[in-house]
A and B are shown apart, each in its own frame.
Chain A
């Protein structure tokens, strides 16, 4: 046995069947990402003991928290776990200070001492001045900080954060994200659930991608970004992902069509095409690009000095192209008109599935 988290979690909640293995070394921050309904929050609730395991085993720092095989199950209040809920769930009848002191009081810390330590945590999260306020009077950002302080004040060996920044506006999100890193480093193991790629990439050393209750991919942020293994991950990191069979010099796409790509291997492969490598034309292009497809511009999204255009292709998976805002106007892309796209074969990356 080793220190850190070692969890095999199988649980059923409604239609969701969760079956996830999760390991983390002491001091490690793991981000769990995935689409809505993938089971991210349920995973955290299972680790906290709020959802019983149907199979599997959770061990934290050599302590068995739950073992479905033996029926051993530590009650939630006896686990070294702190959970910051997505909806914050601050106690409405208690002040911010008493919310944070709640856990310490339950653990038997005397009132004055619990309040002193709670005040210190509120200060650390920059909301010391709201100590006497009821949750209903706090702003979203303040409530989120109080909720984090409440979980952190328990100094849990396993810190579970469920979408800690999701309810905040862009500015507050950036500020809290920068503060979160050192706070999580103080915990033994931190598991962060998020749907925000930036949050996952900047805060976690390792990503676990969950879809339909199962892990579809895990690795460092760089590994996941470079070799996405599902369309959802590809969209998360902002690239086109095409699955297919590798043949000589290209890929027979699973959804139809041929993608020329030199050096494509054989067997099941994924092809990654960065949106920058997709060029958009209003007329059939001249010259000899090998990947030329006809389609319709579907949706245009402006991202500062760039624009992303989703293009539906006939008999092929849709592609996202990145162009300049000027090109959107010049090519009249936002009227859903007919376009041709070209992909340079040399800019297609292919790796085994």
Chain B
């Protein structure tokens, strides 16, 4: 029903929608569609796309490996300082990524707290390498995996795990046969969100891993660089990132906004 009141509400809601929608519309509108394939196929663009896809997937896998035990402890172990640890885990979400990159340099850089030992002892230099790209992406993406998985663990009925124990399942079997399958949707949602975050990573990556074409230049870095020389290329590469992000959000809408999906 159209009433004056809802018309007013619509009017007030419009600027917000326009702020988010207009840039996306402009991106699609102004895209040089006739040159799209050519621009995407350029060697620099392809290399950046490949590095972005590979590094973000490795980073997403790492967040699962590192994040699942962390989420487990946060959800199941009551210890002093748990709230503080949760705040620290969440920090990379709100921290300016460039500051995150500086912090990573101080920790894992060639003269960093841990980095100097890695560099001298193991010959493992992380900064300005593809491994450094993955590390920076994992750093910013980890909170998404941990928070989503921890919420999933808290929502899980632990009495189901009790039931499994009375049916002869050891702790390890309970985890494998009951906990993990029930946690799978949360884990998948967390992994997808952290993958999307890793894919779009810019600040921490450029600070910690630099912007070396073909080595540490991911798609967002390539977009930024292209903007100076070939703006049309930047538009096309941006569209690729938008398309991937939209695909992830649509695929996972049941997990990030369960109340909004009909």
Q: How many chain B residues touch the partner (CB < 8 A)?
A: 17
Which residue of chain B has the shortest Cβ distance to A89 in the bound complex?
B163
B122 on the interface (CB 8 Å rule)? no
Contact with A along B158-178 (1 / 0, CB 8 A): 011011111111100100011
Contact with B along A77-95 (1 / 0, CB 8 A): 1110111010101011100
B4 on the interface (CB 8 Å rule)? no
A275 on the interface (CB 8 Å rule)? no
B-chain residues with CB within 8 Å of residue A87 when the two chains form the complex: 159
State how many angstroms separate the Cβ of A23 from the closest Cβ of chain B. 22
A136-189 interface (Cβ within 8 A of B) = 150, 154
B167 touches A154 (CB 8 A): yes
Q: Which one of A45, A50, A85, A102 contacts B177 once the chains associate, using CB atoms below 8 Å?
A: A102
State how many angstroms separate the Cβ of A108 from the closest Cβ of chain B. 9
Which residue of chain B has the shortest Cβ distance to A83 in the bound complex?
B166
Count of CB-CB pairs between chains A and B under 8 Å: 61
B167 touches A50 (CB 8 A): no
B181 on the interface (CB 8 Å rule)? yes
The answer to whether residues A106 and B169 also contact, given A91-B178, A93-B182 and a CB cut-off of 8 A, is yes
Which residue of chain A has the shortest Cβ distance to B180 in the bound complex?
A93
Give the distance in Å from the alpha carbon of A49 to the alpha carbon of B169 in the complex. 13
Q: How large is the interface on A (under 10, 10 to 19, 20 to 34, 35 or more residues)?
A: 20 to 34
B-chain residues with CB within 8 Å of residue A92 when the two chains form the complex: 160, 182
Which residue of chain A has the shortest Cβ distance to B170 in the bound complex?
A77
A33 on the interface (CB 8 Å rule)? no
A-chain residues with CB within 8 Å of residue B177 when the two chains form the complex: 102, 106
B-chain residues with CB within 8 Å of residue A76 when the two chains form the complex: 162, 165-166
Q: Which one of A75, A93, A106 contacts B167 once the chains associate, using CB atoms below 8 Å?
A: A106
State how many angstroms separate the Cβ of A233 from the closest Cβ of chain B. 30
B157 on the interface (CB 8 Å rule)? yes
Residue of B157, B165, B166 ringed by the most chain A CB atoms within 10 A: B166
A200 on the interface (CB 8 Å rule)? no
Give the distance in Å from the alpha carbon of A225 to the alpha carbon of B98 in the complex. 77
The answer to whether residues A93 and B159 also contact, given A50-B166, A103-B167 and a CB cut-off of 8 A, is no
Which residue of chain B has the shortest Cβ distance to A44 in the bound complex?
B166
B-chain residues with CB within 8 Å of residue A77 when the two chains form the complex: 165-170, 173
B-chain residues with CB within 8 Å of residue A49 when the two chains form the complex: 165-166
A107 on the interface (CB 8 Å rule)? yes
A-chain residues with CB within 8 Å of residue B159 when the two chains form the complex: 85, 87, 89
A31 on the interface (CB 8 Å rule)? no
7 A-B pairs with least C-beta separation: A103-B167, A106-B168, A76-B165, A89-B163, A106-B169, A83-B166, A93-B181
